[in-house]
Amino acid sequence: MNETDYFQKIEAAFRWLEDAVDRWNTEHDLSIECQRNGPVLEVELESGQKIIVNAQAPTQQLWLASSRGAHHFVWRDSRWEDTRGQGLFEPILLAHASALSGLDLG
């Protein structure tokens, strides 16, 4: 994958997460903060817990980290897959957000 394609896929993942945060805030009457800083997207839950998602351009990976652990994803078969075979980006992120917020955000 070339660099342009990689950054388009990163942008789509970031937009998906920003949309999810907007939906969680609306559906659950929450005040979750979501902020971008370059290739990093930080989500701060009401509990103060954070989920950090960032682009790793040199390896063409998408990384996710929270107090529940860290995951590295590679683009394979039209989706972001965990490099250790633990699943896909969206369900893993939803599991982190749900566990850290104490709500079913899926």
Confidence tier at 106 by pLDDT (50, 70, 90) = confident
Query: Helix and strand tally (H, E) in the chain?
Result: 2, 6
Is 106 inside any structural domain? no
Does the pLDDT at position 66 exceed 90?
A: yes
What CATH number does residue 19 fall under?
3.30.920.10
Give pLDDT tens digits for 4-29. 999 999 999 999 999 999 999 999 89
Is 95 inside any structural domain? yes
Q: Are 76 and 82 in contact (CB under 8 A)?
A: no
Domain limits for position 48: 3-101
Task: Report helix angle 3-28 to 89-101, nearest 10.
Answer: 30
Residue indicated by tokens 């390896």: 59
Which pLDDT value is given to residue 18?
A: 97
